Amino acid sequence: MSDALADWKPDVLGVEGKVLPVVTAPAGVLSSAGAEVDPADPAIVQLAADLVATMRVSPGCVGLAAPQIGVRARVFALDVTGHPKAATSHGAFVLCNAKIVEASRWKAGREGCMSVPDLTGDVKRAGRIVVEAVAPGTGEPITLATDAFEARALQHEIDHCSGKLFLDRVAGAHAVYQRKVYL
């Protein structure tokens, strides 16, 4: 893990985040790839703060990508701290222009999404990944190695930035389920 992420806290953004409505499928913004961003752009810094604020007030939410609040950009917030399935947690962070550079230990697992509130599905994802990205505000490079639930959550949010929902990754209709617990 890079030092930039080890010391990162949402307050380093220096702006107050606004809670924004979450977009749900079939909204077009969810199926369009987001653009790479300039992490030093004040609009991107504000977007990062808005993602954290919206994620924090959303029960059960461990990650939120820019397309989920209507913005076609490769930015997302994540925080799996305290989640029962998390083996590794790097705390709360926001990444810009993230890409997976290593992936291994593939297995299926159940996923849900705030943008698809009535369904869950079984998705095959890597259990161990390495991600390269940049920090909002500073543009400092970040390399993050993680596993288990945090790796799954990162892949889910990177997919959002690429215009994909978890439903695009399920093996078929037999792997999609009605959500039993509403948060």
Active site residue 157: yes
The structure tokens listed for 103 are 């992936």
Residue entry with tokens 């703060």: 49
Catalytic residue among 36, 132, 140, 157: 157
Q: Report the distance separating Cα 154 and Cα 54, nearest Å.
A: 17
Which are the catalytic amino acids?
Answer: 157
